[in-house]
Amino acid sequence: MNIVETNISTKSRILFDTICEEIVDTESSKILMAHFGIISQDFINSLSEGVEELLISCNEKRALIKRVFSIFIEGLQNIKLHGELFEDGLRRGILIFAQNESRYKICLGNVIKNERIEAMTLRLDELNSRNDAETKALYMDVLSNGILSNKGGAGLGFITMKLKSKSKMNYRFYPLTESLSLFFVEMEVLRSSADEPQ
């Protein structure tokens, strides 16, 4: 069943604006990129080019650019594949890319059914409990076992995002209706000047 857009979009937009304000006001961060709307393959392709160019203009190291690029691609593909469909047959999501003196913040969000919250919470908490070495071992295990989900992936999206960010995935669920919520996740990546030698 597809989501009727009007009320969900209005509530999601208010949350998006509030989150952007919080990032700027409480973290002394500058928003480099923000998107609220349709997440299509064309959008993902064009955005990935823009992110790379933006980080090159910030004189970031190639290794950091590749890590951030990978997080963006995995996160947006997750939204495109797993976000709930709206009545027009398209998926919508939130993207916020911010920067302060020491780090980049990557924030992604999409609408999910409330029935998925418990399983996602367990999965993300378990993933967050792992250190970098354990996360890498899990990545290799899932990759080599090749267990496919019902959407065609091997469940590598969140694992890859945590592995590349080298930080915990902070997540929240914002209620929208009795059956739907906005799932919002954010990751931080240290800037090259604050990161370990690459």
All structural domains of the chain, each given as residue ranges with its CATH number in brackets, are 5-113+170-190 (3.30.565.10)
pLDDT along the chain (198 residues), means of 10: 63 87 84 91 86 89 92 91 82 91 92 92 93 91 68 69 93 92 94 58
Q: Give residue 9's pLDDT.
A: 77
Handedness of CA 127, 133, 134, 139 (dihedral sign): positive
DSSP label of 115: G
Q: Are 170 and 138 in contact (CB under 8 A)?
A: no
Q: Which residue has the tokens 């792992």?
A: 130
The model carries a pTM of 0.85
